[in-house]
Amino acid sequence: MTKKEKASYVIKELLKIYPQPSCTLNYNKPYELLIATILAAQSTDERVNKITAELFKKYPTLESFAEANISELENDIKPVGFYKNKAKSIKETARILVEKYNGTLPTTIEELVKLKGVGRKTANVIMANIYGIPSIIVDTHCKRLSNRLGLVNSKDATKIEFELKKIVEPQLYTIFSNLMVYHGRAVCKAIKPKCEVCTIKDVCEYFKARK
Ligand code: SF4
């Protein structure tokens, strides 16, 4: 089985369990997804969703984030961790979006990654979910599963993204990424993956090596 065939098989099998995999961060406006994704770095979507409902109520516009009192913003986002850096990034990014982009989001990865606190993962989340462009989103789950399955052999997120782009059907990039998140959370956990109940174990290198 080639890597391309394996990726197709994995997508087909996982769609049977997770028929509609989607972004698990809550948001109503495009910039809210950007802020939620900045907050999600080194944290979990669950933890982020717990604070964003209140956060987006308290700061209802990009301008209000741009003008936020930094200590107060730090305090508001404390539960997600790395709050000092994240508060700085959010305030600065909001200011640039207001001043340079008239309150909208940039439309290319190249421009998105120039924003503070925005790496390729966040940029791809925006491309996929706001602009509907199929994108490979390499988060911790995608990184772990792609390696365990033997689709890639790298710890470097950018390398993984470009490797996966050669293997996964382009129109399925976002679906594949979201499936990695769903399966990573439910079955292929970082510690103690539930291989015995995993429906893709027959094509998994990690499972084969364990036997
Ligand atoms: S067999 Fe185990 S390691 Fe492989 S994908 Fe399934 S849960 Fe993860």
Instruction: Report how far ligand 1's centroid is from the alpha carbon of 150 (Å).
Output: 11
Helix and strand totals (H; E) in the chain: 12, 0
- Please write the tens of the pLDDT for every residue from 36-70: 999 999 898 999 999 999 999 999 999 999 999 99
Average pLDDT over residues 172-177: 98
* Ligand 1 atom at minimum distance from 200 CA: 6
Residue 97 has pLDDT above 90, yes or no: yes
What is the number of structural domains in the chain? 2
Which among 14, 140, 143, 145 is the best mutation to test ligand 1's pocket, defined by most ligand atoms within 8 Å of the CB? Answer: 145
Domain that holds residue 160: 3-22+136-209
What pLDDT is stored for residue 110 in this prediction? 97
- Hey, how many other C-beta atoms are within 10 angstroms of the C-beta on 162? 15
Same domain, 72 and 34: yes
- Please write the tens of the pLDDT for every residue from 121-164: 999 999 999 999 999 999 999 999 999 999 999 999 999 999 99
Same domain, 36 and 125: yes
Same domain, 120 and 141: no
pTM over 0.95: no
Nearest Cα residue to 164 out of 179, 183, 148, 142: 142
What pLDDT is stored for residue 210 in this prediction? 83
